[in-house]
Amino acid sequence: MNDRLSALRLFVRAARVGNFSSAGRELGLSQPSASRLIGALEQEVGAALFSRTTRAVTLTDAGATYLMRVEAILAALDEADHEARGTGELRGSLRVGTPVSFGLREVIPRLPAFMKQHPALKIDLRVTDRYPDLVTEGLDVSFQFGALPDSSAIVRKLIHQARILTASPDYLRERGTPTIPSDLAHHFMIISPAHPLPTFSFRKDGRVTSVRVDSQLAITVNEGATAIAVAGLGIAASSENSARAELEAGKLVRVLPDWDFGSMEVNAVFVGGKTIKPAARAFTDFILKELRDA
């Protein structure tokens, strides 16, 4: 029974990543062992589930149909195990995706309390500021900001975070403090994934004002934009939570605080068409409660 379950879980991962070796490594199997397990599964099913080439493996039509059924079965089995225990204790593994700043400032500090409640649960935290592919990366839940590229995903809205501009006191003493949005045209803006466009828009008294800005420095990680602002190299756009500690410590100050710079929605995203894993649902509930109580 365990061999069959292992084969099914391996099959799902191999189907998603298109590679036996990568899927096997995730489950602690060598490439030959993974290939043998898949071969035994195909023999037991009585159908070829994969087409194999020297570069990749792809699902056959039978494999694609089998995948939809197997994923539903495995998700239902996880749910059944969780309910049967009746203790609320979570077991197995949970793979979580999160943007860097949100992960470092909101998720990781709260992990000890959650993991203490569920000592048998293993968590794999994937931290990146790019939008992940939940399917190929095997994520059970991904925390994401703003507009979502995958419309088929299951989305749970968590909170809104105000978008703000910040700069160091030293930078503002040297370059001057903007008082209206058009002043930003004379400043260096730190370009990051939080705001990659050269035009910033603000709202005040029901009117929208837009300004085109310049940048001397760009960075691919939002958390880095805050560090660059602290270093005095420009004005950074971020969520209010992403700069809270630096604002409280006086390392950064708000720029144009009387102007509405909009907000960013924080969502928990799950793969569409699948039953949400109990651990993913529980972790999302936990993070949501923590954020609302903060």
Give the pLDDT confidence score for residue 288 in this predicted structure. 94
β-bridge pairing 214-218 and 188-191: parallel
* 130 and 248 housed in the same domain: yes
Q: Are 204 and 259 spatial neighbours (Cβ–Cβ below 8 Å)? A: yes
* 128 and 271 housed in the same domain: yes
β-bridge pairing 263-270 and 154-167: antiparallel
Give the pLDDT confidence score for residue 87 in this predicted structure. 62
- The count of domains in the chain is 2
* 247 and 106 housed in the same domain: yes
CATH number for the domain that contains residue 294: 3.40.190.290
CATH number for the domain that contains residue 32: 1.10.10.10
Q: Give the chain's residues under pLDDT 70.
A: 1-2, 86-88, 147, 149-151, 273
Q: Structure pTM?
A: 0.76
* 71 and 18 housed in the same domain: yes
Q: Are 200 and 211 spatial neighbours (Cβ–Cβ below 8 Å)? A: yes
* 48 and 145 housed in the same domain: no
Q: Are 269 and 155 spatial neighbours (Cβ–Cβ below 8 Å)? A: yes
* 262 and 123 housed in the same domain: yes
* 172 and 215 housed in the same domain: yes
The domain boundary residue, chosen from 85, 101, 127: 85
* 64 and 195 housed in the same domain: no
* 291 and 157 housed in the same domain: yes
The domain boundary residue, chosen from 61, 85, 109: 85
Q: Are 39 and 32 spatial neighbours (Cβ–Cβ below 8 Å)? A: no
The range of the structural domain enclosing residue 278 comes to: 91-294
* 251 and 201 housed in the same domain: yes
* 61 and 23 housed in the same domain: yes
The domain boundary residue, chosen from 85, 108, 127: 85
Long-range Cβ pairs for the range 112-117 (8 Å, 24+)? 114/283, 114/286
* 182 and 253 housed in the same domain: yes
Cα–Cα distances in Å, from 88 out to 70, 93, 224, 280, 283? 25, 15, 38, 13, 12
Tell the burial category of 152 from Cβ atoms under 10 Å away from its Cβ (0-12, 13-18, 19+). Answer: exposed
